Structure 1
Amino acid sequence: MVNSSQSKRKFSKYSKAKKQVEAIKGFYNHLTTYLLVNAGLFLLNSNILDFFEKNGENTVKFLDWLHWNIIATPLIWGVGLLFHGLYVFKFKSILLKDLKPKILKDWEEKQIQKFMEEDQMDSEGYR
């Protein structure tokens, strides 16, 4: 007969491992999207600039703005991707809930209690 606490620990380990796999998959999906979108931007960079030049938007300010936006998108997004990767691979033992301020944790706990009480009252009302 399997001990109840052993099965709970096994389920907890399984659940934690499954969450980690989901986090890694999420990172790789993010990375794939980043690479595809930014490769497309860089491949189309000259075509996009030529399109606007030929269609009357040939002011230097606009073209400079467009060019810098095509460059800034992968840079800013890359910073976000870097933090995503660091969280998934380096700081995987730190849960986001551990980084929340106490006031937010307290508020979430109050909301959970509130909804549990409402569910309890609803279930008692339907008996």
Structure 2
Amino acid sequence: MENLDEIKYQEAVKRVQKIKGFYSHLAVYVLISLFIVVKKTQKIDEGETIWHAFYVPFFWGIGVIIHALNVFDKLSFLGYNWEEKKIREYMEKENKRNKFE
């Protein structure tokens, strides 16, 4: 029973580390994006549009969103629940195969 509690504890630790990693990613994204936007908007020439100031933050923001969805289990095909379900599925198939042998 203690082994099961230890496994659950280790899973909780991994989950908290993933969340902490996401918040670090988000903080770096916000700070660097603000810096980029401020610097780029100060140097807009006549031929440039405002889009150039938001180019990097926009695409990096897509990555941050995907990271958030993955960490908070909103992407079922990439999240922890998917892995757990697949493991159970394979174990059940193996148990059924062993029953009939």
The match for 1:102 is none
Give the Å deviation of 1:48.
Answer: 3.5
Work out which of the two has the higher radius of gyration on C-alpha atoms and give 1 or 2.
1
* Structure showing greater relative contact order (alpha-carbon pairs closer than 8 Å, 6 or more residues apart): 1
Gaps of 5+ in 1: 1-5, 99-127
Give the Å deviation of 1:90.
Answer: 2.9
TM-superposition CA deviations, 1:39-83 (whole Å, max 9, x none): 11122123333xxx6xxxx7x3xx45xx53431211111111111
Runs of 4+ with >4 A deviation: none
The match for 1:46 is 41
- Candidates 70, 73, 78, aligned match of 1:90: 73
The match for 1:70 is 53
Q: Alignment identity in percent?
A: 30
TM-score by length of 2: 0.65
Gaps of 5+ in 2: 84-101
User: For 2:60 and 2:81, how far apart are their aligned partners in 1?
Assistant: 21
User: For 1:96 and 1:7, how far apart are their aligned partners in 2?
Assistant: 23
